[in-house]
């Protein structure tokens, strides 16, 4: 079992280009797994972790409802945003500048074969990360992601999650609102959940956070929770 993870920070990159890149990495791993079934000599599968910041984009999951996008094509253009219907779980979300997006492309057979556990550990990574800034992140039953003030009229989401897996290989991941312009969420019904707000670390703390510092904290908690041997910087 290979518990090393190749780490790559893509900086700011177009959503579609990044989606295509994830797909290539996932397919490479799936191909190795198919070959391993046929060959006596087993080749280890690789794991990857991508950090990225996207230009303004709205993405709709495979089971999402298009009516949760409140803009037409012309309005999208005016806002400098694009829209994609994609192959992850979940409904609609927004990605944009100031948001920390993480895409783990892991062969879960190197770690554990349990998608529910995978999602809960991803949530835990974010909960522990924002706790270092004095923010109490929580889970909301039946609503994947990380929230603040669950069970109150002020419940608000700080981190969205949506994944896809094929042959136990994951793609897509989490989007943590660090210094995000929350106005862009007004153009959608985030994650298809009406009447619940969205927030960011900046909004909660009253000051911008250092994104590079937040990423290091995410990796620190990810390494412990997933029992990663090491991150290999690409």
**β 169-177/156-166 pair status:** antiparallel
> Was 149 annotated as part of a binding site?
no
> Was 95 annotated as part of a binding site?
yes
- Find the catalytic residue in 191, 198, 209, 218: 191
Asked whether the beta carbons of 58 and 50 are under 8 A apart, the reply is no
For residues 199 and 60, give the distance between their C-alpha atoms in angstroms, rounded to a whole number. 20
For residues 84 and 61, give the distance between their C-alpha atoms in angstroms, rounded to a whole number. 9
Instruction: List Cβ neighbours of 176 (8 Å cut-off, separation of 6 or more).
Output: 99, 100, 101, 102, 126, 129, 130, 146, 158, 159, 201, 214, 218
> Was 115 annotated as part of a binding site?
no
Q: Which of 209, 72, 93, 198 is nearest to 147 (CA)?
A: 198
> Was 1 annotated as part of a binding site?
no
> Was 142 annotated as part of a binding site?
no
> Was 92 annotated as part of a binding site?
yes
> Was 93 annotated as part of a binding site?
yes
Q: Is 63 helix (H, G, I), strand (E, B) or coil?
A: coil
191 catalytic? Reply is yes
Instruction: List Cβ neighbours of 131 (8 Å cut-off, separation of 6 or more).
Output: 137
Chain centre to alpha carbon of residue 125: 11
> Was 102 annotated as part of a binding site?
no
> Was 90 annotated as part of a binding site?
yes
> Was 48 annotated as part of a binding site?
no
Catalytic residues: 191
Query: Which residues belong to the annotated binding site?
Result: 88-95, 160-162, 173-175
Query: Which residues belong to the annotated binding site for substrate?
Result: 88-95, 160-162, 173-175
């Amino acid at each position: 079992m290979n518990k090393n993870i190749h780490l790559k920070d893509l900086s700011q990159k177009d959503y579609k280009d990044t989606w295509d890149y994830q797909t290539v990495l996932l397919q490479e791993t799936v191909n190795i797994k198919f070959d391993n079934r046929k060959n006596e000599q087993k080749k280890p599968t690789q794991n990857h972790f991508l950090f990225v910041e996207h230009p303004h984009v709205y993405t709709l999951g495979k089971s999402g409802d298009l009516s949760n996008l409140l803009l037409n094509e012309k309005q999208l253009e005016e806002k400098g945003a694009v829209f994609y219907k994609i192959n992850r779980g979940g409904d609609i979300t927004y990605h944009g500048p100031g948001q920390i997006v993480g895409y783990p492309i892991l062969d879960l057979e190197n770690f554990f074969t349990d998608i529910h556990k995978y999602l809960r550990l991803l949530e835990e990574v974010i909960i522990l990360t924002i706790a270092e800034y004095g923010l109490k992140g929580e889970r909301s039953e039946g609503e994947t992601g990380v929230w603040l003030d669950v069970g109150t009229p002020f419940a608000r989401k700080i981190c969205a999650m949506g994944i896809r897996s094929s042959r136990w290989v994951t793609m897509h991941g989490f989007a943590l609102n660090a210094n995000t312009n929350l106005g862009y969420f007004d153009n959608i019904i985030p994650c298809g959940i009406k009447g619940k707000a969205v927030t960011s670390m900046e909004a909660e703390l009253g000051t911008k956070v250092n994104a590079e510092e937040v990423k290091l904290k995410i990796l620190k908690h990810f390494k412990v929770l997933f029992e990663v041997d090491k991150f290999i910087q690409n």
